């Protein structure tokens, strides 16, 4: 392991805005902060917005800067990446930011029903092979988890450079008759009214410089029955 990673891991332990539970603290059981994010960390009742696979936390921190009246939690497994977002939030005294280092598969251990108002999924691994479809963060496997803690009327945002993931997600939504609020194949040539859509991470800026178009979906999980996968792509 590189020296810089060790330094960052050590510094992460000093930050009050990053939560790093062990496997035994969350596997099949509730984490001690579940249902307590408002009262014990943010100390307010403002809506909670989470970003899944947040990487360096650029988007999480960017949203927190724009809107201090919401609380933001970035979720990722890579501690060396989370270090950047956590450190920036500390340096800028952003009290409406937190980070969780864990696997997204364990997300039900962290949030109780109705605790989260919005979910952002920004530039996730598209998992393009059909055999890996259920590993996509917009697959039925994950959407069924999200709807257990997303409040009624809460929304999911997907921002990606992968046209394949965009189309796959649309097929999941259509197959399950889920409500789509906004959909575009070319975000920066659309007129969608959302100040967060203009926040660009380092990698997104690279995609744009390479001439890639960015897609966007905003949808709700308005279905009581379990969400199902669409017919096989093959």
Structure tokens at 169: 């997600």
Cβ(199)–Cβ(160) under 8 Å? no
Sign of the Cα pseudo-torsion (34, 39, 42, 46, in order): positive
Selecting among 125, 161, 186, 225, the annotated active-site residue is 125
State which H helix or E strand residue 208 sits in: helix 202-209
**Residue 125 known to be catalytic:** yes
* Rounded-to-integer distance, Cα 101 and Cα 78, Å: 7
Nearest CA-CA partner of 137 in 81, 209, 76: 76
* Rounded-to-integer distance, Cα 74 and Cα 116, Å: 12
Burial of 126 (0-12, 13-18, 19+ CB in 10 A): buried
| Residues annotated as part of the active site | 125
């Amino acid at each position: 392991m590189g020296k810089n990673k060790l330094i960052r891991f050590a510094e992460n332990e000093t930050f009050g805005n990053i939560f790093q539970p062990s496997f035994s603290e969350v596997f099949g059981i509730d984490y001690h902060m579940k249902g307590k994010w408002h009262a014990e960390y943010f100390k307010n009742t403002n809506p909670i917005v989470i970003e899944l696979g947040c990487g360096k936390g650029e988007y999480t921190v960017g949203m927190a800067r724009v809107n201090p009246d919401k609380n933001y939690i970035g979720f990722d497994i890579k501690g060396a990446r989370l270090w950047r977002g956590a450190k920036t939030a500390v340096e800028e005294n952003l009290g409406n930011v937190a980070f969780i280092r864990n696997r997204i598969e364990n997300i039900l251990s962290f949030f109780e029903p109705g605790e989260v108002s919005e979910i952002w999924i920004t530039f996730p691994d598209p998992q393009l092979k059909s055999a890996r479809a259920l590993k996509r963060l917009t697959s039925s496997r994950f959407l069924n988890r999200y709807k257990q803690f997303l409040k009624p009327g809460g929304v999911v945002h997907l921002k990606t450079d992968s046209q394949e993931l965009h189309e796959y997600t649309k097929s999941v939504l259509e197959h399950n008759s889920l409500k789509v609020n906004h959909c575009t194949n070319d975000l920066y040539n659309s007129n969608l009214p959302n100040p967060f859509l203009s926040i660009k991470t380092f990698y997104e800026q690279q995609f744009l410089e390479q001439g890639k178009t960015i897609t966007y979906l905003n949808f709700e999980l308005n279905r009581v029955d379990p969400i199902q996968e669409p017919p096989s792509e093959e």
